[in-house]
Structure 1
Amino acid sequence: MTYLLVFLIAAVPGFEVLVAVPLGILRGIPPVLAVIIGFAGNAATILLEIIVFKKLKEWWESKKKKDVSMPSKRTVRAENIWRHYGIPGLSLLGPILIGSHLATFLALALGSTKKQTAFWMLISLAVWAIIFGILSVLGVDIFSWMRQKFI
């Protein structure tokens, strides 16, 4: 049951590997397995998002027409990362700054191909899953540090 929980939490935008991997380790899953399960859960929804991007973009654009307010800070941050670092930067920084799901959507919306986006996002998810697995094993409270730095 814990394995499924880690997979599902990793699939949820906002939680992803950043929460799922440490949670899995805290719940007693061996670290390597927690990293693999967290990666798989997050990757599954990212790949699904890439596959159905066209429908998601239509939904997003219809939502934007109704909501004429300023773009969110997360969207502005993602666009700045895109302009400075392209798809590699958005993919690698996105999961910790804006979330992997929003980073994926914006990468595609800003012109990255599905293949490029999938490649870079999967690399990024693997890197972050491993980093958060190592930090969890070492007992580093990364969430307190992130809260101080970015929020």
Structure 2
Amino acid sequence: MEFLDYLWAYFIVFVFAAIPFFEAFGVITLGILAGLPAVPVILVSLVGNILTVLLLIVFINKFKEWRRKRKGEEAEKQQSKRAVRAQNLWNKFGMPGLAFIGPLFVGSHLTAFMCVTLGGQKKRTSIWMVSSITVWGIVFALLTHFGVDFLGYEDRGVLKDLIQVD
């Protein structure tokens, strides 16, 4: 691949990692399976995911205001199943538990939103969410790396033929 192809690939990795529900650990896995070098994929994915989560935490009040206007006051009072599960995790394990378990089930953006909504301070939420995203990203990178090596795809990406530009 040429330099511009790599640049374009890493831009796509960054954008997908920044989009809610396309978590960094999922994008890291896809990037490694596509044959991109693991370390840059990990770094770019983590930066993309962490940046948007931190922006959400910083601007949470503006986001709540926008959501309230969009959904209406009565929708704000109704709790979804996800909100009930998050509240139960919060009651049982506190912010660390929700921050580490939440991204696997509902995504890091929604988890950060729930942490702040349930009473967490922005600074503590930021620290726990950055830790969680980083740990899960590294765990999934290691699992993907060793799984790919175990299957014999060490030097070629599983998805490389699909994204290769001629």
- In which range does the TM-score fall when normalised by the shorter chain? 0.7 to 0.9
Q: CA offset at residue 110 of structure 1?
A: 0.9
Amino acid in the other structure paired with 1:74: R
Q: CA deviation at 1:30?
A: 1.5
| TM-score using structure 2 length | 0.78
Tell me the equivalent position of 2:9: 2
Corresponding residue number in structure 2 for 1:102: 110
Partner of 1:23: 30
Q: Deviations over 1:51-90 (max 9, x none)?
A: 1111112233342525379532222211111111111111
1:132 paired to 2:122: no
| TM-score normalised according to structure 1 size | 0.85
**Runs of 4+ with deviation above 6 angstroms:** none
The answer on whether the counterparts of 1:57 and 1:109 sit within 8 Å (CA) in structure 2 is no
Higher relative contact order (CA 8 A, sep 6+): 2
Percent of residue pairs identical: 43
Letter in 2 for 1:107: C
- Distance in 2 (CA, whole Å) between partners of 1:23 and 1:64 is 38
Q: Distance in 2 between matches of 1:105 and 1:56?
A: 9
Unaligned runs of 5+ in 1: 141-151
For residues 4-47 of structure 1, give each alpha carbon's deviation from its aligned partner in whole angstroms, at most 9, with x where no partner exists: 11111111111111321011112222222211111111001001
Root mean square deviation, CA, Å:
1.8
Structure 1 residue matching 2:119: 3-state secondary structure? coil
Gaps of 5+ in 2: 1-7, 149-166
Q: Which residue pairs with 1:33 in the alignment?
A: 40
Partner Cα separation in structure 2 for residue 54 and residue 70 of structure 1 = 19
Q: Count how many residue pairs are aligned between Structure 1 and Structure 2.
A: 140
Equivalent in the alignment of 2:160: none
Alignment of 1:59-138 (within 5 A): 59-62=66-69, 63=71, 65-67=73-75, 70-138=78-146
